[in-house]
Chains A and B, each alone.
Chain A
Amino acid sequence: MTGTLIETEDRREYKATRRRDLAVDLSMALATILAALAIGFVVMLVTGNDPVEAYGAMLTGPLERSFRVGRWLEDATTLTLLGLSVAIPFRARQISLGAESQLYAGALAAAAVAIFLPLPPVVAVVVPLVASAVAGAGMGLIPGSMKARLGANEIVATLMLNAIVVRVYDYLVNGPLKEPGSSAVHSKSIQQDSALTPLRDWFGIPLGRANVGLLLMVLTAVALWLLITRTPLGYRIRMTGSNPEFAEYGGIRVPRVIEWSFVIGGAVAGLAGAHLVQGVYGRLEPGLAGSLAFEGIVVALLARNNPLVVVVAGLFYSYLRAGGDIMEQQTDVGTEIVVVIQAVIVLLVTAQALPDLLKRRLARKQVAAR
């Protein structure tokens, strides 16, 4: 049994074990990516494509031109915010799939303020951001309360809410909010002062639509990490997620904690909506988020719901997405192969027993050597 093993270790041995476990985790992550790439390699060979050329385009493409870097960072910002938004409820062991509804609610709120409310500079950026966070939080509170107080299943509640909010959004963009006189379906553009400053203005090189939202995303991740590790609420979220019966026994009001986890996650997803409106498109467009809401879940899973790791996972996952697009443009290989690679990575990562197996084997070897 590994249990009695740890107990008998002294502190130095224990620290060494922990370092070794970390090394195992990191090398497993690397091995996972390599394995996924290898499988993609085989698939391309079998389908009669040139894998070397395709991988060349995919893996180096996003860095080749500055505007491609911008595309990657812009995508990573939204994706990471969405990953963060589900990582918090996940920490409380709540399967929230509501990022989509929260994002669209946030986008609507941000756009409403940024299009219609004349505000002085700086304030014009901040108020829509706050509005989006509040709208997203509200959209999180609904399924959160239904789960915590009424015993509704949070998976069903969030999915149904997604269905409703997306339809409402489509209606508004196609109807009341559609720019008059425009043949394409989109809203009026936001006011200049409400736009998130493009990174191009800072670095003087074309970086596409990447904007200060990137910085905002990193700050959000750090703030959430502090929330989880350094606040009483974060402690309650962790304990509720780890063992809700223990949390209740300890005097934690579990329903309230569940609600908070949804509200915080919702606010972050709302910010993702604001990023799309104020930073990327400058207006409301149909299908604003694409499939990003669900890929956010994958990113959170990859990062095991650690907010700081979500940033890394988000950057990595977006890189694959951006690379896949370039590969499709430059070679005959479609983006499907990227989907295959992503899926293999997710499958391997969710097989969490694998690294644990390896750690246990290493531990046993160490004991035998003693």
Chain B
Amino acid sequence: MDRAPARPTGSALQVRGLTYEAPTGQSLQGIDFDVAAGEIVGLAGIEGNGQTELAEILAGLRRPTSGAIRVDGTDTAGLDVAGHRGAGIGYVPEDRLRNGAALDESIADNLVVDRHHRAPLARRGLLRPSAVRDHAEHLIEDYAIRTPDASVPVRALSGGNMQKVIVARELSAQPRLLIASQVTRGVDIGAMRFMYERLVAARDAGAGVLLVSADLTELLALADRLLVIKDGRLVARFDDTSGLTEKRVGLYMLSVERHDPAHIAAGLEEVSAA
């Protein structure tokens, strides 16, 4: 993957002292990190070490136990999912079949879930089918979604195509922070390449991207910086991914090695909890 070096500008995401007591699954402890606008931060780790929980907390689908989260300067504590989206978060969920799409509904309807109540899709309290359709046709074209019509139910699409629908929706909202979880899982090679290009393009347009993946090759190819999570804690932080090997990152993923907590939190500015 050819890409220019990142030109990080302001901060897209600040996470400080994030703790989460999970009723089931992995709890999180003392997570601190930043994602700058205009960079891709990879989150590596063996699956089930808290990546899902962290992504869902950032997207507003779970509430953290304590800690502070700022998205583009906005404190997201107490906001619901719509509030998180309003603050500028886009989220490509790891399991697109579970919550990424309504499989029996049309592509057009799947593309507007976060914006169906706003102009130009709705006016004076009424949904405008023609606007929903135009919106879908634009995105189908822009994101090369292969389908004969916008009214096709999402269930009829292949994995890569379905993922394009989700990525199209999330990126077209022009998020300040995009959380992309397992974005190329079960996706054909063409669509995979397409996703990579789109993520880099979003970065270059000024979005912060948190790329959560189980695929180290993907992370090393795309991430400008890399974090490693293990047992609900960050155990490594690489501010330069050039020359980093899968084997080396693997040692951190397996807890053979770990970074000093002071190194992981180095240089993060103070953010007070709300």
Determine whether the beta carbon of A251 is less than 8 Å from that of B85. Answer: yes
B243 at the interface (CB under 8 A from A): no
A246 to B165, CA, bound (A): 14
Residue of B100, B105, B152 touching A242 (CB-CB under 8 A):
B105
Determine whether the beta carbon of A251 is less than 8 Å from that of B158. Answer: no
A246 to B105, CA, bound (A): 11
Query: B14-22, B112-120, B225-233, B248-256: which lies at the A interface?
Result: B112-120
Chain A residues within 8 Å of B81, by CB: 248-251
A181 at the interface (CB under 8 A from B): no
Determine whether the beta carbon of B114 is less than 8 Å from that of A251. Answer: yes
Chain B residues within 8 Å of A252, by CB: 82, 113
B91 at the interface (CB under 8 A from A): yes
Total number of B residues with any Cβ neighbor in A under 8 Å: 38
Determine whether the beta carbon of B113 is less than 8 Å from that of A6. Answer: no
A236 to B91, CA, bound (A): 19
Determine whether the beta carbon of B148 is less than 8 Å from that of A246. Answer: no
Closest B residue to A252 by beta carbon equals: B113
Q: If the complex has contacts A6-B152, A238-B109, A248-B99, are A253 and B82 also in contact, measured as CB distance less than 8 A?
A: yes
A41 at the interface (CB under 8 A from B): no
Determine whether the beta carbon of A243 is less than 8 Å from that of B156. Answer: no
A253 to B59, CA, bound (A): 15
Chain B residues within 8 Å of A247, by CB: 102, 113
Determine whether the beta carbon of A11 is less than 8 Å from that of B155. Answer: no
Residue of A14, A239, A249 touching B109 (CB-CB under 8 A):
A239
Chain A residues within 8 Å of B101, by CB: 243, 246
A9 at the interface (CB under 8 A from B): yes
Closest B residue to A14 by beta carbon equals: B148
Q: If the complex has contacts A14-B148, A232-B122, A242-B105, are A249 and B100 also in contact, measured as CB distance less than 8 A?
A: yes
A229 at the interface (CB under 8 A from B): yes
Residue of A7, A9, A251 touching B82 (CB-CB under 8 A):
A251
Residue of A9, A11, A230, A232 touching B117 (CB-CB under 8 A):
A232
Determine whether the beta carbon of A231 is less than 8 Å from that of B127. Answer: yes
A290 at the interface (CB under 8 A from B): no
Q: Using an 8 Å CB-CB cutoff, how does the interface string of A203-247 with B read, 1 for contact, 0 for none? A: 000000000000000000000000001111011101100110111
27 contacts between A and B (CB under 8 A): A3-B155, A6-B147, A7-B148, A7-B161, A9-B148, A13-B148, A230-B127, A230-B129, A231-B125, A231-B127, A232-B116, A232-B125, A235-B112, A235-B127, A238-B102, A239-B113, A242-B104, A243-B99, A243-B102, A243-B103, A245-B99, A246-B99, A246-B101, A249-B91, A249-B113, A250-B81, A250-B113
16 further A-B pairs in the complex, CB-CB below 8 A; given A6-B147, A243-B105, A249-B59 = A4-B158, A10-B148, A11-B148, A229-B129, A230-B127, A231-B127, A234-B127, A235-B109, A238-B102, A243-B103, A246-B99, A246-B113, A248-B81, A249-B113, A250-B113, A251-B80
Binding site for A on B (CB under 8 A): 59, 61, 80-82, 84-85, 91, 93, 98-105, 109, 112-114, 116-117, 122, 125-127, 129, 146-149, 152, 155-158, 161
Binding site for B on A (CB under 8 A): 2-4, 6-11, 13-15, 229-232, 234-236, 238-239, 242-243, 245-253
